[in-house]
Amino acid sequence: MRESSPLVGGLSGVKLVRGTLKDEAISIVRRALMAGEMEPGKIYSANSLAVQLGVSNSPVREAMMALSAKGLLEVVPNRGFRVVEMTVQDQLEVYDLRLLIEVRSIGRLAELSFAEPDARRLRDLAQATVTKADPHNMLEFLESDQHFHLSLIEMLHNSRLLAIIENLRDQSRINDTYRLLEHGRLQHSAAEHGSILEAILASDRLRAERLMTEHLDYSKP
């Protein structure tokens, strides 16, 4: 059994200063997962992270338990938490669910009418992903990408749907953050956001769903 490991890199010196301690800890640990700072196979201690953040153990443990419930971490009894290792079958299941749920949701958006301020805000978010498509700062791109996609889903006003899609997107990234780089598709993927959005705003459901299906192709194992 491996020894318990502290979180590394960009988490050094981070302090919880806003929101609830649990929610902020969830955000920090999630970012570490997306950035690849937490490695599969290593065991991470809630107590070690709490010391790094300068808070009590309880909210950090609650945060890591919440991420375990989302399938991003797994509990190692009496040791701590380990990053879930996504098998090819796991990745395929997540991909299939995203096709069933996320693509259909994008199609439903094309049946809505968007006020100009909303359309402008979404165009700005799409452009932000293009601006942040920097292979040297993948975490910023991934956060911007997530913000764009979840902002689209928020327009359906279904909090359960939003939570499901957010979780599926996170599960698709924890062990494979840099696949876009490997495929040389980072800038291309960012540019696709504008095309998807314009199909939605043009009320072209079939095109929006086709473009979203193609957009997810990189995540197919």
| pLDDT above 50: residue 2 | no
Residue 8 has pLDDT above 50, yes or no: no
52 and 134 part of one domain: no
**Residue 112 maps to which CATH number?**
1.20.120.530
Range of the domain at 106: 88-219
Count of the separate structural domains present in the chain: 2
Residue 102 and residue 207 in one domain: yes
CA angle 120, 125, 128 (to 5 degrees): 125
In terms of domains, do 47 and 74 share one? yes
CATH number of domain containing 36: 1.10.10.10
- The residues, ordered by sequence, that sit 6+ positions from 7 with a Cβ below 8 Å of its Cβ are 29, 32, 37, 38, 44, 48, 49, 52
Rg (CA), the chain: 18
Span 11-46, pLDDT tens digits: 555 555 545 888 888 888 888 888 888 888 788 998
Q: What pTM, to 2 d.p., does this model score?
A: 0.84
If we measure between CA atoms, which residue out of 78, 57, 83, 79 comes closest to residue 4?
79
